[in-house]
């Protein structure tokens, strides 16, 4: 208190001095003969900028106000007509992975009063998900109203039929097609190649054609951003600055901790005179022929007395205490020719007393100076960053691999996840305000990532609990659901009788205790053949003999047949041979027993060709696997390895999953409206929103509206 | 103050010496650069850079908002209101560094005004010289003026009792620095008059009895003796203007524009958020 009083006193006396200086200065200036008109650039900066800004904004405002009737008329001429609708606004909150069973349990305990209110006054139901029940697939079905064979997204990754190597399913990002070689430089003459591989169209594009504005935030598979009437910020599948789906950096003095295998890079550092010199590794230099990875020096000065470190990077300097995240730090890599590639990352010191250990998040694309377009219009991410401050832009921003690899612990993972959540909540609430009519949709990933990493704590016997704390984190998921309830509460307050609210999830959750390596099973059964003398294979089918292999698995969704005419070394003929092989595999895999647990590991296997009718089924996995609860494609199988055993315990922090039989993991559907359809499906969301706005549902859409009538009629009913 | 003036005069004379015989615009460009650097350093060290950055970001965000949501009249008006509010905040944050800039800048401006503010008399040019007596004195009968050469006195004294002032018209005859010698009831006073045709020449139009403000505002010449009959002597030099392309501008306008241009272009170099 005494210190506070002294501080206040000194601050007051300082203010008095300032006031005296100010008045003295004013008198002084007024006495000057010629200088009274000018008090320097200081005043120039402040007043010129202010008046300029005021002038510009006033001019813009007047222009927009005066041109509004004209724009209204022009838009009206080109706008498609729709039926009269009582719905002014639709809000969709996507809580990725929210599980209906857990939601029900927590509502029953009275911990989610806002969800309970929606259930009591509107709707709560399970929402059937896509096959396979993987986020990019499910959210693509949500936005297009069609199944994966119509939108072309069956998994995160697929195989390149020419090389059998993995490639992203959602987007293709390549170098500029035209370059001008000058000396060592390769000057791009065209934009880098960027193509969204998701087919069909999101329903907000249709809304736009009818003059309805949409704000779409972080919905997966919206990168690269598409043009439509509204604003959007891309979500899942936005890469980091290195072009990966998230590569963290780890710096340690402990040689035993240099064992990161996936998701990041670990580097050994040395302390000399309490200082560390190392580098932040950025993207490859695409401006130079065979350009190497660009780096930025990092200088760390350890202040042991004050228990903090001073970090210098990219021309900035900041102090950081151990076990605290730095704010987003801007970093700029310089490939040459005065070009800058801007990114942002957070620093986190794990240990400083006994050695040194620091984690740096993947370098996100800087939303304020984006190296790639991550929003529509391009300036929307810049606008958001200026309005709410810098924010994580990486698709999978919560660094699950850093926790899996033990580079950060549970506490720091949670802190990171909630820092990201807060950014998204801010941008969502802002978007809600800026969308007084039309559609406002936002997907929150926190629910998915936290459940993936802490689901083990809901089941004592989970293999991932070995050597890890369980009790301490038992309520993490429950607490997160409560946090989501608070968000829903904030949104409910903004509802009126012309606004429809839907809270949905793309899938639910279940335990991931045992992994199945389908490649190993295929090898053991003779469908996948290894090169002479090999009994196992490294990543990405390193030792596979493609000239003899008939089937393989990559990613999480299922099995590809090595088809003649499709895969480069395909040997299975189209027609009866293919049909027979698929049937053989289906009958062998359905009901596959895990001998260690005596449980059925695979409930069903789906023939994609037989069950899907869309134009993109040809390139899809030929068989989709419906794993039983507790099972999933193993980590090794997903990356094309062949191991010794088919089944393995999942001991990673990533202990919950949903890449199973979709019937086991439906999502949730909450609404302030009473939904009439008894078996709602994700693909019903697009037609529902179109109907609410009085728009005819396109015939290609496979879903049907959840509501029989329009909103007000529905309420009366 | 006399010592401060002495030091400042020498510093400014030194700075201006390489530019003495070329167009004054070059030295003014150089001074603008120095002023910009000094102000940037003061601005950086005395302002709340984080708050200024935040406020500027918000202003830009609301400007983007105007075009992103241009079809929503409510949002356009609200963005306009927010820009105005953030602008006021920005001006509030700019006030503190402005206060710290006032004193050094005033000293610089006084110096520059004495270098660039007035034009020396041209040969054959006439002007008015005014002698102001102290308030408790009446205009004495015995009052005269003479030149030590290079100037001629064109008129007899014109007495203005209401202002306690006596005026003469003088004419420049030769280039150089000449003294006017006044005799007021046997007390002698001197005022230097500059006749020149090119280069940067320090000119002090007014010399007065010593006090803080008079010394500060007239740095180029020693003050009059204390306790005498005369309070102030003023030579009516014409205001100077400097040629920039086709125009002739006051030095202050040039300094104002150039120092702002330099400051904005160097803010990145000095890492200043303005």
Q: How confident is the model at residue B181 (pLDDT cuts 50, 70, 90)?
A: very high
User: Biggest alpha carbon distance in chain B?
Assistant: 83
For residue B73, the chain A residue with the least C-alpha distance is A65
Greater confidence (B185 vs A515) lies with A515
Taken in order of first residue, the domains within chain B and their CATH numbers are: 2-117+246-266 (no CATH), 120-239 (2.60.40.10)
pLDDT the model gives residue B267: 87
Closest to B15 (Cα-Cα) out of B39, B32, B36 = B32
C-alpha A55 chain-centroid distance: 39
Residues of B in contact with A22 (CB under 8 A): 95, 99, 102
Distance CA B57, CA A681 (A): 42
Distance CA A314, CA B182 (A): 68
- Which residues 50-69 on chain A approach chain B with CB closer than 8 angstroms? 50, 53-54, 56-58, 60-61, 64-65, 68
Question: For tokens 């911990």, what's the residue?
Answer: A111
Per-residue pLDDT for B5 more than 90? no
Looking at CA atoms only, how far is residue B170 from chain A in angstroms? Answer: 24
- ipTM rounded to 2 decimals: 0.84
Question: For tokens 């230099």, what's the residue?
Answer: A285
Which of A35, A213, A386 is the closest to B113 by Cβ?
A: A35
| Tokens encoding A145 | 């109203």
Distance CA A306, CA A322 (A): 11
Number of A to B CB contacts under 8 A, please give it: 167
Distance CA B46, CA A506 (A): 52
Half-sphere exposure of A75 (CA within 13 A, CB side): 14
Which of B36, B60, B72 is the closest to A41 by Cβ?
A: B36
Closest to A301 (Cα-Cα) out of A293, A291, A292, A311 = A311
**Three-class DSSP category at A502:** strand
Distance CA B36, CA B269 (A): 12
**In this structure, are strands B238-239 and B242-244 parallel, antiparallel, or unpaired?**
unpaired
**Three-class DSSP category at A250:** strand
Beta carbons of B106 and A32 less than 8 Å apart: yes
| Cα Rg of chain B (Å, integer) | 25
Burial code of A378-395, b = ≥16 C-beta within 10 A, e = fewer?
Answer: ebbbbbbbbbbebbbbbb
In this structure, the number of other CB atoms found within 10 A of the CB of residue B42 comes to 20
Beta bridge partners of A497: none
Number of helices followed by number of strands (H, E) in chain A = 19, 35
What element of type H or E holds A117? helix A113-121
Q: Is the peptide bond before A224 cis (omega within 30 degrees of 0)?
A: yes
Beta carbons of B97 and A65 less than 8 Å apart: no
Sign of CA dihedral A375, A346, A155, A453: negative
Distance CA A503, CA A671 (A): 6
What element of type H or E holds A217? strand A214-219
> How many residues are listed for chain B in this entry?
274
**In this structure, are strands A230-234 and A214-219 parallel, antiparallel, or unpaired?**
parallel
Beta carbons of A231 and B103 less than 8 Å apart: no
Looking at CA atoms only, how far is residue A10 from chain B in angstroms? Answer: 17
Looking at CA atoms only, how far is residue B163 from chain A in angstroms? Answer: 20
Beta carbons of B83 and A41 less than 8 Å apart: no
Beta carbons of A41 and B259 less than 8 Å apart: yes
Residues of A in contact with B42 (CB under 8 A): 42
Dihedral angle over CA of B193, B199, B201, B205, nearest 10: 60
For residue A39, the chain B residue with the least C-alpha distance is B102
| φ, ψ (nearest 5 deg) of residue A630 | 95, -15
DSSP A455-493: GGGG-TT-GGGTTS--GGGTTHHHHHHHHHHHHHHHHHT
Distance CA B240, CA A532 (A): 95
For residue B96, the chain A residue with the least C-alpha distance is A18
Residues of A in contact with B95 (CB under 8 A): 22, 46
Distance CA B90, CA A427 (A): 23
DSSP secondary structure code for residue B219 in this structure: T
Beta bridge partners of A332: A342
DSSP A150-200: HH---SSEEE-TTT--EEESSEEEEEES-EEEETTEEEESSPEEEEE---S
pLDDT the model gives residue A712: 39
Distance CA A267, CA A253 (A): 8
Looking at CA atoms only, how far is residue A68 from chain B in angstroms? Answer: 7
What tens digit of pLDDT does each residue of B73-103 get?
Answer: 899 889 989 988 898 888 888 888 888 888 8
For residues A601 and A588, the answer to whether their CB atoms sit within 8 Å is no
Residues of A in contact with B203 (CB under 8 A): none
**Three-class DSSP category at A244:** coil
Topology given in CATH for the domain delimited by A91-153+198-239+372-509+665-717: Alkaline Phosphatase, subunit A (3.40.720)
* Domains of chain A by residue range: 91-153+198-239+372-509+665-717, 246-370, 514-657
Which of A46, A64, A68 is the closest to B91 by Cβ?
A: A46
For residues B273 and B267, the answer to whether their CB atoms sit within 8 Å is yes
User: A10 burial class (0-12, 13-18, 19+ CB within 10 angstroms)?
Assistant: exposed
pLDDT the model gives residue A695: 95
Residues of A in contact with B259 (CB under 8 A): 40-41, 44
Which of B77, B87, B274 is the closest to A45 by Cβ?
A: B274
Beta carbons of B110 and A35 less than 8 Å apart: yes
Q: Identify from A17, A42, A391, A430 which residue to disrupt to test chain B contact, counting B C-beta atoms within 10 A and taking the largest count.
A: A42
pLDDT the model gives residue A42: 54
**Three-class DSSP category at A293:** strand
Whole-number Cα distances in Å, A49 to A61, A625, B41, B268: 18, 62, 19, 17
Beta carbons of B39 and A47 less than 8 Å apart: no
Which of B60, B61, B102 is the closest to A39 by Cβ?
A: B102
Which of B67, B99, B252 is the closest to A34 by Cβ?
A: B252
Averaged pLDDT, groups of 10, chain A, 717 residues long? 42 49 47 44 59 72 79 78 88 98 98 98 97 97 97 96 94 83 81 89 96 97 96 95 93 90 92 96 88 94 95 96 97 88 97 94 97 95 96 96 96 98 97 96 98 97 96 97 98 96 98 98 97 94 97 96 96 96 98 97 96 94 98 96 97 97 98 95 97 95 86 39
User: A565 burial class (0-12, 13-18, 19+ CB within 10 angstroms)?
Assistant: exposed
DSSP B163-175: GTEEEEEEEE-SS
- Which residues 315-334 on chain A approach chain B with CB closer than 8 angstroms? 315
Beta carbons of A41 and B40 less than 8 Å apart: yes
Question: For tokens 């193509």, what's the residue?
Answer: A195
- Which residues 66-85 on chain A approach chain B with CB closer than 8 angstroms? 68, 71-72, 75
pLDDT the model gives residue A398: 95
Q: How confident is the model at residue B1 (pLDDT cuts 50, 70, 90)?
A: low
Per-residue pLDDT for B22 more than 70? yes
**Three-class DSSP category at A285:** coil
A23 touches chain B (CB under 8 A): no
Closest to A360 (Cα-Cα) out of A455, A282, A418, A244 = A282
């Amino acid at each position: 208190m005494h210190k506070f009083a002294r501080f206040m006193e000194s601050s007051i006396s300082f203010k008095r001095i300032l006031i005296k200086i100010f008045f003295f200065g004013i008198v002084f200036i007024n006495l000057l003969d010629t200088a009274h008109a000018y008090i320097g650039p200081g005043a120039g900066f402040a007043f010129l900028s202010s008046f300029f800004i005021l002038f510009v904004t006033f001019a813009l405002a007047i222009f927009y106000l005066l041109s509004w009737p004209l724009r209204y008329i022009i838009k009206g001429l080109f706008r498609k007509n729709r039926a009269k609708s009582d719905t002014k606004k639709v809000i969709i909150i996507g809580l990725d992975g929210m599980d209906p069973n857990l939601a029900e349990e927590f509502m029953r305990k009275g911990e989610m009063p806002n969800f309970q209110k929606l259930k009591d006054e509107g709707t709560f139901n399970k929402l059937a998900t896509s096959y396979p029940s993987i986020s990019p697939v499910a959210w693509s079905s949500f936005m297009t109203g069609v199944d994966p064979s119509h939108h072309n997204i069956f998994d995160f990754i697929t195989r390149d039929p020419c090389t059998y190597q993995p490639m992203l399913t959602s987007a293709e990002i390549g170098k500029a097609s035209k370059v001008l070689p000058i000396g060592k430089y390769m000057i791009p003459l065209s934009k880098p190649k960027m193509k969204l591989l998701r087919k069909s169209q999101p329903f907000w594009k249709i809304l736009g054609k009818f003059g309805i504005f949409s704000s779409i935030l972080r919905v997966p598979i919206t990168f690269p951003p598409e043009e439509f009437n509204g604003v959007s910020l891309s979500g899942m599948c936005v890469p980091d600055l290195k072009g990966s789906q998230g590569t963290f950096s780890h710096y340690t003095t402990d040689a035993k901790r240099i064992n990161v295998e996936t998701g990041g890079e670990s580097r050994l550092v040395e302390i000399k005179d309490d200082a560390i010199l190392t580098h932040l590794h950025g993207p490859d230099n695409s401006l130079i022929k065979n350009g190497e990875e660009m780096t930025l020096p990092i200088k760390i000065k350890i202040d042991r007395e004050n228990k903090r470190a001073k970090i210098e990077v990219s021309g900035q300097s900041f102090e950081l205490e151990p076990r605290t995240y730095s704010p987003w730090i801007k970093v700029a890599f310089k490939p040459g020719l005065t070009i800058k590639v801007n990114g942002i990352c957070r620093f986190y010191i794990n240990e400083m007393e006994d050695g040194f250990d620091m984690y740096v998040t993947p370098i996100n694309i800087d939303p304020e100076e984006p190296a790639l377009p991550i929003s529509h219009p391009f300036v929307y991410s810049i606008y958001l960053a200026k309005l709410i401050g810098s924010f994580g832009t990486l698709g999978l921003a919560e660094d699950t691999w850093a926790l899996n690899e033990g580079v950060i612990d549970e506490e720091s993972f949670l802190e990171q996840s909630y820092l990201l959540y807060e950014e998204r909540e801010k941008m969502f609430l802002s978007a809600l305000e800026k969308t007084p009519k039309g559609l406002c949709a936002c997907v929150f990933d926190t629910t998915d990532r936290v459940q993936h990493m802490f689901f083990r704590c809901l089941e004592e016997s989970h293999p991932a609990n070995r050597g890890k704390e369980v009790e301490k984190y038992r309520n993490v998921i429950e607490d997160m659901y409560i946090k989501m309830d608070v968000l829903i509460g904030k949104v409910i307050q903004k509802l009126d009788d012309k606004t429809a609210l839907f809270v949905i999830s793309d899938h639910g959750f279940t335990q991931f205790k045992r992994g199945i390596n389908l490649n190993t099973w295929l090898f053991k059964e003779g469908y996948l053949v290894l090169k002479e003398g090999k009994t196992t294979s490294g990543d990405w089918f390193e030792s596979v003999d493609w000239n003899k292999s008939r089937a393989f698995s990559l990613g999480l969704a299922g099995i590809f047949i090595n088809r003649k005419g499709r895969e480069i070394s395909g040997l299975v003929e189209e027609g009866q041979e293919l049909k027979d092989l698929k049937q053989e595999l289906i009958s062998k895999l359905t009901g596959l027993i895990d001998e260690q647990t005596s449980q059925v590991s695979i409930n069903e296997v789906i023939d994609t060709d037989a069950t899907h009718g869309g134009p993109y089924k040809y390139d899809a996995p030929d068989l989709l696997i419906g794993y039983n609860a507790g099972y999933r494609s193993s980590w090794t199988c997903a990356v094309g390895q062949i191991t010794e055993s088919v089944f393995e315990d999942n001991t990673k922090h990533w202990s919950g999953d949903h890449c199973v039989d979709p019937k086991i993991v439906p999502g949730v559907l909450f609404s302030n409206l009473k939904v009439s359809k008894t078996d709602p499906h994700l693909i019903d969301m697009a037609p529902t929103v179109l109907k609410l706005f009085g728009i005819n549902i396109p015939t290609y859409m496979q879903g049907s509206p959840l509501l029989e009538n329009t909103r007000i009629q529905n309420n009366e009913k | 103050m006399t010592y401060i003036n002495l030091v400042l005069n020498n510093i400014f004379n030194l700075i201006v010496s390489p530019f003495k015989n070329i167009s004054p615009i070059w030295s003014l460009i150089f001074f603008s650069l120095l002023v910009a650097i000094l102000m940037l350093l003061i601005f950086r060290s005395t302002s709340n850079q984080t708050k200024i950055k935040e406020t500027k970001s918000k202003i830009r965000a609301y400007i983007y908002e105007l075009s992103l949501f241009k079809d929503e009249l409510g949002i356009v008006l609200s963005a306009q209101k927010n820009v105005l509010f953030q602008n006021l905040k920005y001006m509030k944050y700019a006030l503190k560094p402005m206060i710290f800039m006032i004193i050094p800048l005033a000293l610089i401006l006084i110096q520059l005004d004495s270098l660039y503010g007035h034009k020396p008399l041209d040969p054959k040019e006439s002007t008015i010289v005014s002698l102001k007596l102290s308030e408790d004195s009446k205009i004495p009968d015995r009052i005269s003026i003479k030149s030590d050469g290079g100037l001629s006195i064109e008129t007899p004294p014109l007495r203005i009792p209401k202002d306690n002032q006596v005026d003469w018209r003088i004419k420049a005859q030769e280039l150089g620095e000449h003294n006017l010698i006044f005799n007021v009831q046997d007390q002698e006073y001197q005022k230097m008059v500059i006749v020149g045709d090119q280069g940067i020449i320090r000119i002090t139009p007014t010399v007065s009895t010593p006090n803080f403000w008079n010394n500060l505002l007239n740095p180029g010449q020693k003050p009059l003796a204390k306790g005498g009959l005369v309070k102030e002597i003023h030579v009516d030099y014409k205001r100077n203007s400097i040629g920039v392309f086709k125009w002739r501008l006051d030095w202050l306008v040039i300094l104002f524009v150039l120092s702002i241009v330099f400051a904005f272009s160097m803010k990145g170099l000095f890492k200043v958020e303005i």
